[in-house]
Structure 1
Amino acid sequence: MFLDIEADRYFCLSPAAEQSFARLIDGAPIVAENEAVLANLARHGPLTDGSHGVAIAPCLATVATRTDLPGLAIPPRPAQLMLAAGSLALAPLRLRLFGLAGVIRALQIRKARATSPEPHDRRLTTTAAAFAQLRYVATAHDRCLTRSIALASRLFAQGLTAELILGVQLRPFAAHAWVQAGDRLLNDRVDVVRDFTPILVV
């Protein structure tokens, strides 16, 4: 399963392309038939000609082992709720204006300026609590991407690092998005995200 960020779509390879791609990943000998398929993938699919020297590697994400669905011990202040609501309102607008690729690039730039928070940083909890309080503004199931983009953006704006993760599952196909800091989920539950394989980590 691949995610074409520029086109904002998921796609799978054909059986022949998948076999050739697997041989490339495994470092197995590439025969003429594989070369033709891989050349086609380089022209139209997820491969490049290798001139940039970037190795193909699987998407790696920290396995989430605990859930921090806040609003339990540290209620958010009104100002935090307003900032969260503003971020929620802007997220779908940014997706429409700049597309998924543009939003991800902006998040990567903002994240690069942030610093790693302490494991029990109060700002992580209170920010996530504000979004949890607003969970009925847009349901978590139908709007997981925009809600997660909004939360990640708000955390980065405070100089806090976290990970926006997009995951997929097959048979049946489904996609999901969530935010975590280390192994700590900030807007979802472990029993939900464990069914999804990460395909992108921002």
Structure 2
Amino acid sequence: MTYRLTPAYEACLCDGQIILLDLSTDRYWLAPPSQLAALCAVLDPGTRGEVNTSDLQDLLRAKIIEPCRASDLPAPSLPPADGARPAFVTHLSLTGVILALMYQVRAIWLLQVHSLDWIRDHIRTQKHPTRSHSAMALATVLQSFAQSERILPSTDKCLRRSLALRLYLKAHGIDAKLVVAARLRPFGAHAWVQQGPHVLNDHLERVRPFTPLFAA
């Protein structure tokens, strides 16, 4: 039997421990030692033979995992962050800043009204044709969002600002991923937008200590 996390959960392996994110409540927690082997087997099916069946049953009853076909297992879709964002441009569009502010406000509303699992699935199911774009065009967008944060401060609001940027890029046909990640020591959570290996709205040194929970 093959298992996967239920849609309400995401998880990552950090320093030999598993951090779980309950998307419906936006709550992070550390998997207890009794669940560690079973969850590792779910995240890495190659270790399935080492797992006690009763531990898997406990996770099933807790609705943390669910049965699935092997073909339904999620495929890795995010390369490791290993690149810098495009260089900022010197000119700035007032229209671009206003649009960035509008998407920031939309992100605030979405985070207040909907759970993270709804937002994740909403991003993944929205269909917008991907369009070609220049590095300069992308840099202009990033500059507009950086300026908008001076008007609408985003200290400790990485999820909101990253969600806003992700929604804007998706609506304009620019492929990228919203990444939600965690670290164990010291515990922390972070979010950023990534295009391939390139981090768009943060510094590489800041995101490297975090292990992605999901990308959308």
**Alpha-carbon distance change, 36 to 101 in structure 1, aligned in 2, over 3 angstroms:** same
CA shift, 1:85, in A, is 0.5
Q: Does 1:113 align with 2:128?
A: yes
2:101 to 85, 88, 91: 85
Aligned residues of 2:83 and 2:197 also touching (Cα < 8 A): yes
1:191 aligns with 2:208: no
2: CA distance, partners of 1:155 / 1:29:
42
Post-superposition offset of 1:51: 5.8
Please name the residue that 1:66 is paired with: 83
**Please, which runs of 5 or more residues in structure 1 have no aligned partner?**
none
Using structure 1 for the length normalisation, give the TM-score.
Answer: 0.85
Residue number in structure 2 paired with 1:148: 162
Mapped to 1, the partners of 2:144 and 2:41 lie a distance apart of 47
Given candidates 18, 22, 25, the residue that maps to 2:36 is 18
Q: Give the match for residue 47 of structure 2.
A: 27
**Larger strand proportion of the pair:** 2
Q: 1:174: which partner in 2?
A: 188
C-alpha RMSD over aligned residues: 2.4
CA distance in 1, matches of 2:38, 2:119: 32
Contact 2:101 2:152 in 1 (8 A): no
Identify the match of residue 174 of structure 2 among 157, 160, 164: 160
In structure 2, the partner of 1:43 is: 61
Give the alignment's TM-score, normalised by structure 2.
0.80
Superposition deviation, residue 13 in structure 1: 1.4
| Change beyond 3 A, Cα 1:78–1:178 | same
User: Offset at 1:45?
Assistant: 4.1
**AA partner of residue 113 (structure 2):** L
Write the deviation string for residues 118-143 of structure 1: whole angstroms up to 9, x where unpaired: 5x443321111101112334555410
Say if 2:83 is the partner of 1:76: no
Aligned residues between the structures: 196
Gaps of 5+ in 2: 1-18
Go from structure 1 to structure 2 and tell me whether the alpha carbon gap of 1:27 and 1:175 turns closer, same or farther (over 3 Å shift): same
TM-fit CA distance, 1:9: 1.8
Q: State the identity as a percent.
A: 28
Q: What is the deviation of 1:30?
A: 5.1
